Structure 1
Amino acid sequence: MASPELPGAKRNNVLVPPSPLLRLNDDLLADIFLRLPTLADVGRAATTCASFRRVVADSTFLRRLRSVHPAPLLGLLLFSSVHPAEPPHPSAPYARALQRAADLSFSFVPCAGRWIPIDARDGRVLLESETMGGDFAVCDPVSRRYLFLPRIPGHPAAQRCRRLEPFLVPASNEEPETSLRVVCVAERKPGQLVAFVFSSDTGRWGSLTVDVSVPPSCKFSWSSYGFGSCYWKVTGSNKLLGLDTRSMVFSSFDIPSGYGQQDSVVVEAAEGRFRMFTLHNSMISAASYLVHAVRVIREEGNNLWQVKRRVRLPSQYIFSFADATDKHLLLRGIPWNLHLEPSTPGADIGYFSVEFESMQVEKICGIRNLLYAKLYTGFPPSLSLPSI
């Protein structure tokens, strides 16, 4: 007589299906991680287990992540280094990670101490020799890689031009993440501009010359960059000059009367729209406001600027523009007492970011001296790829 079957025998013979987590392959995990709302969520997921970390660290995933999340603001590019964002700015945790992992004084670039940072874009920094003799380099402080650029052809002639500041152009979605371009625009003679363009794909400089209808004695403001185009306000006029870095075509258009004399900046928004931001500082009420307007093109072709929002800024400062990208403004705030009494001790210059869509004003840091500053954006070291 057969012995009775033990109650647990059938359970022991049945194959236990793997858990749902084990059935997920890397591609599905990557799709899930790309749907997380913030980069911080992606970073937290990577610390959960080795499998998640492997997916997040994969170069293919990181390239896809860049197309979903814009590079966050990490700090300021100053005269000799990068100053990380300080608490309570929302990017302060990313900035601390950057400070631990990167060389923010660029000492890894040969001939350290003779380079001046002049622009930053998506984790790269454009350096120029302190002699301003036309020697350029591009570096990545996280991967500690760098690229020396050849001199601009016919450089002695270019040096005699009245130069606008050089700037970096990020790679497009169709280009490898290590592709880069550097643009240097100069006024060859009154009313004629020349753009020198370096491409890492060819390793050479090209040039484009264009005649522009601007007064011979005019000056150009610092540049603002967004969505592939760079813009300069022609001071003393109501005209804006633009350079589309994708097609390398110059264009110009008028801004409302009087804005050429005000502290204002124009940036391109998505789908060819334009935003204009204007600062109003009242010496009487000791109050400052930021006004946001957008350009609307009517059916008859006329331009109309519509005010979208007016935001009051922190009351203890008098503000000016320092930089603008396709997502943020950088405002420089000088304390009112320091503005009135320059010898006032212990007063810091405040630097503030303004996010375009929300118009949220966040203090990045305070610096004792009035310094040249530009926004520094990039991905946290754990989510970044070598950009050079």
Structure 2
Amino acid sequence: METSKKVAFPLTDIPDHLLSEILLRLPTSEDLARASAVCVSFRRISTDGSFLRRFRRLHAAPLLGFLDRNGFHPVLPPHPSAPAARALDLAADLSFSFLPAPRHWAVQDIRDGRVLLDRRIRQEEFPAVLRELVVCDPLRRRYVLLPTVPDDLTALLEHPVQMVRGVRCKTFLAPLGEEEAAAGEATFRVVLMAHCKTSLTAFVFSSSTGQWQAAASKGWSDLVSSRGDWAAMSQVNPVYLRRHYAYGCFYWDWLMIKSKKLLVLDIRTMEFSIADLPPGEWGREGIAIVEAGEGRLGMFGFHGGIAPSLSYTIALNKGESPSQWQVEKTISQDSGYTYSIIAATERYLLLTRIEASYLENRLLSLEKPRFEYFLMDAETLQLQTLYMKQHCLVYDAYIYINFPPSLLSSRTV
């Protein structure tokens, strides 16, 4: 009787379309990176732009930590992204020493691992709309310098450019549309939103064209019916407004002036609108707009003072301006602490807490307070201690998600 022989079947003989389906089913981006080192075929498929876009749609990007003026703070074990976060911390230059005049740049936003920073041009002479902007890849130490907004666009603002206090601006990175994403991994968009006394204007820079364009404009009186409301809203510097993003729209809240309104910018149509917060008394400790699934918005917010309850409310109907909300869960916090939400993404919240006894006696205390930082996953509602240190609270923190895709091969543009 003849003995059957097993015939080896090389992986390289698998057709590309089947191999790509196999690689798509790897659980994490770290597994994909390891698989890409196996052979030339694996690397060719795993680094293809269309494949990577499909992989990112199927897999959540790794949460790596957060960045503030005290530096980068990676997630810690037992978080599954802790090894990747540690690797980023060791390999990347998150002090941005590779930028020209590195100590004069300030972080404005982080998206998909890229960092947007700005530097004022002779701040005492010019308004914030004239600023130097740079988008950088801190892992590969590459950057792209953006041109300033041209005069023909700034002339659209209601105040002349020479009036320093007439325009307040905030810049941020915008997600790419399907056509832009298909254009390549180097593509990115930057939005500059200018708050004027009677109107809002947004300019958009696209790396595909290398130019700024006027994208949206709306009068405050067209957004808000009450003159008192829009007068108060227009006076708030956008630097101090919390920004949220979900399902193609950016949201800003005015809880700092006790307003129950949200400013909405639909990034797909580039139109401004106003939406209402869910019913209830929301504390100034912050809210977070997140993606609750099935196209519905979710919102985290605090009720109460010391040791407030963190409520999670979900919209019952889809859309950027839902009218019906339902409390999904109330999460009790430890007594004796005051909590705040200081940053959020579509899925994650960054919270901080401080002992309430310090706030009551801070004028008498000689020691710096200890702030504790936590990350919460909006899907699992799990809270993880991330960082604690005795120092001043930093409100301009940015959650760092994903390793950055490559920028242009040149270091500057």
- Bin of the TM-score, shorter chain as denominator length: 0.7 to 0.9
Equivalent AA in structure 2 for residue 360 of structure 1: Q
In the alignment, the residues of structure 1 paired with residue 117 and residue 211 of structure 2 have an alpha-carbon distance, to the nearest angstrom, of: 17
**2:298 matched to 1:275?**
yes
Question: 1:56-105 CA deviation, whole Å, 9 max, x = no partner?
Answer: 75344434322222322211121264332233444321111101221111
User: Among 190, 205, 218, which residue is 2:212 paired with?
Assistant: 205
In the alignment, the residues of structure 2 paired with residue 307 and residue 158 of structure 1 have an alpha-carbon distance, to the nearest angstrom, of: 46
The alpha-carbon deviation at position 173 of structure 1 amounts to 3.9
**2:379 matched to 1:352?**
no
The alpha-carbon deviation at position 36 of structure 1 amounts to 2.5
**2:108 matched to 1:101?**
no
**2:133 matched to 1:147?**
no
User: Among 186, 200, 217, which residue is 2:232 paired with?
Assistant: 217
Within 5 Å, give how 1:161-176 maps onto structure 2: 161-175=166-180, 176=184
Deviates further, 37-46 or 369-378: 37-46
**2:192 matched to 1:184?**
yes
Deviates further, 60-69 or 208-217: 60-69
Give the SS at the match of 1:216.
Answer: helix
**2:263 matched to 1:241?**
yes
Question: 1:8-57 CA deviation, whole Å, 9 max, x = no partner?
Answer: xx87xx9862236464355433322211333344455557x446863675
**2:349 matched to 1:329?**
yes
In the alignment, the residues of structure 2 paired with residue 334 and residue 357 of structure 1 have an alpha-carbon distance, to the nearest angstrom, of: 25
Contact 2:106 2:118 in 1 (8 A): yes
**2:14 matched to 1:24?**
yes
Contact 1:229 1:268 in 2 (8 A): no
**Residue 4 of structure 1: aligned partner:** none
Query: How has the CA–CA distance of structure 1 residues 302 and 289 changed in structure 2, closer, same or farther, with 3 Å as cutoff?
Result: closer
In the alignment, the residues of structure 2 paired with residue 363 and residue 387 of structure 1 have an alpha-carbon distance, to the nearest angstrom, of: 33
Could you state the TM-score of these two structures normalised by the residue count of structure 2? 0.78
**Residue 340 of structure 1: aligned partner:** 360
**Residue 246 of structure 2: aligned partner:** 226
In the alignment, the residues of structure 1 paired with residue 377 and residue 90 of structure 2 have an alpha-carbon distance, to the nearest angstrom, of: 26
**2:259 matched to 1:252?**
no
Query: How has the CA–CA distance of structure 1 residues 30 and 87 changed in structure 2, closer, same or farther, with 3 Å as cutoff?
Result: same
Contact 2:282 2:302 in 1 (8 A): no
The alpha-carbon deviation at position 278 of structure 1 amounts to 1.0
Question: 1:274-323 CA deviation, whole Å, 9 max, x = no partner?
Answer: 2121113543xxx342110012249xx98221000112235564211111
Question: 1:320-363 CA deviation, whole Å, 9 max, x = no partner?
Answer: 11111111111122233433343364753122121111111112
Give the SS at the match of 1:359.
Answer: coil
Percent of aligned pairs with the same residue? 37
Query: How has the CA–CA distance of structure 1 residues 31 and 316 changed in structure 2, closer, same or farther, with 3 Å as cutoff?
Result: farther
**Residue 388 of structure 2: aligned partner:** 366
User: Among 113, 117, 129, which residue is 1:123 paired with?
Assistant: 113
Contact 1:169 1:228 in 2 (8 A): no
Equivalent AA in structure 1 for residue 176 of structure 2: A
In the alignment, the residues of structure 2 paired with residue 223 and residue 309 of structure 1 have an alpha-carbon distance, to the nearest angstrom, of: 23
Query: How has the CA–CA distance of structure 1 residues 264 and 116 changed in structure 2, closer, same or farther, with 3 Å as cutoff?
Result: closer
**Residue 66 of structure 1: aligned partner:** 56
The CA RMSD over aligned residues, in Å, is 3.1
**Residue 104 of structure 2: aligned partner:** 114
Larger radius of gyration: 1
The alpha-carbon deviation at position 268 of structure 1 amounts to 5.2
Could you state the TM-score of these two structures normalised by the residue count of structure 1? 0.83
Query: How has the CA–CA distance of structure 1 residues 178 and 171 changed in structure 2, closer, same or farther, with 3 Å as cutoff?
Result: farther
The alpha-carbon deviation at position 141 of structure 1 amounts to 0.7
Contact 1:281 1:319 in 2 (8 A): no
**2:137 matched to 1:137?**
no
In the alignment, the residues of structure 2 paired with residue 249 and residue 145 of structure 1 have an alpha-carbon distance, to the nearest angstrom, of: 33
Gapped regions of structure 1 (runs ≥ 5): 1-6
Gapped regions of structure 2 (runs ≥ 5): 155-160, 409-413
Query: How has the CA–CA distance of structure 1 residues 54 and 251 changed in structure 2, closer, same or farther, with 3 Å as cutoff?
Result: same
The alpha-carbon deviation at position 250 of structure 1 amounts to 0.8
User: Among 10, 29, 35, which residue is 1:39 paired with?
Assistant: 29
Contact 1:330 1:351 in 2 (8 A): yes
The alpha-carbon deviation at position 122 of structure 1 amounts to 0.5
